[in-house]
Amino acid sequence: MNQKSTIEEIRLRFDNDVDRFSSLETGQVSTIDATVSLELITETAKRIVPDAMQLLDVGCGAGNYTLMMLKKLPGLNCTLVDLSKPMLNKALERVTQETDGEVKIIQRDIREAALPPNHFDIILAGAVLHHLRDDRDWETTFRKLYGLLKPGGCLMISDLVTQETATLNTYMWERYGDYLESINGKAYRKKVMDYIDKEDSPRSVTYQMELMKKTGFRSTEILHKNMCFAAFGGIK
């Protein structure tokens, strides 16, 4: 665990990758079914809270998830949280062009960000929670996200995940490595796998859904899973 990237190292990596992450086609090329998961979590959120007014995008990056949400629910007030100021600046530029609602940016780790409780109708967490570390970190973060939601609101997640069974986990990562290699060769496979090993601490869908139940969510849903990636969420 001590060998994992620090928050500062993660911030610096994203500071230097704004252009790539400003497009789903380039920013999510290593993510299997990124466009499918993006569509599913935003469409699901719209159907759960069709009259939503307040959106929180956790680890918003360049704003892709918020922009898709605004296509489905125009006029949302959007709160964008990210470690990277360059990412937030790009997200602010893009999102303000697509909504007449209020847009706030907060450069902060979501675990430390001061946000109003029982305030948000929808929370989106796209490719961000895998940066959490130990069990305590996961539980306190899920409890915070639950507390930020209004009753009836939803947390929708699209992320890197693991398997519960070690042999199946090994198999899925081998399959994912093969996928990466098919995109851009063995060097690309090694590059992606190396930074996942250094930077990420993903957990299984089962672990996260059980944690949602433990922290108070009244229902949970799996929307999609393909190898090491999944889309799922919970309703308060």
At residue 12, φ and ψ (nearest 5 deg) are -65, -40
| 29 falls within a domain | yes
Output the six-digit token pair for 138: 């996961």
d(CA 13, CA 51): 37
Q: What is the sign of the dihedral through the CA atoms of 155, 158, 162 and 168?
A: positive
Task: Flag whether 1 is in a domain.
Answer: no
Report if residue 52 sits inside a domain.
yes
Give the C-alpha separation, 15 to 6, whole Å: 14
Task: Count up the domains in the chain and report the number.
Answer: 1
CATH value at residue 89: 3.40.50.150
Asked whether residue 27 is domain-assigned, the answer is: yes
Q: 28: domain range?
A: 7-235
- Each of the 236 residues of the chain gets a pLDDT tens digit; together they read 457 878 787 777 766 666 666 565 545 667 889 899 999 999 999 999 999 999 999 999 999 999 999 999 999 999 999 999 999 999 999 999 999 999 999 999 999 999 999 999 999 999 999 999 999 999 999 999 999 999 999 999 999 999 999 999 999 999 999 999 998 999 999 999 998 999 999 999 999 999 999 999 999 999 999 999 999 999 99
Give the pLDDT confidence score for residue 25 in this predicted structure.
Answer: 55
> What pLDDT score was predicted for residue 12?
73
Determine the pLDDT at residue 1.
Answer: 44
- The pLDDT value recorded for residue 13 is 73
| 61 occurs within a structural domain | yes
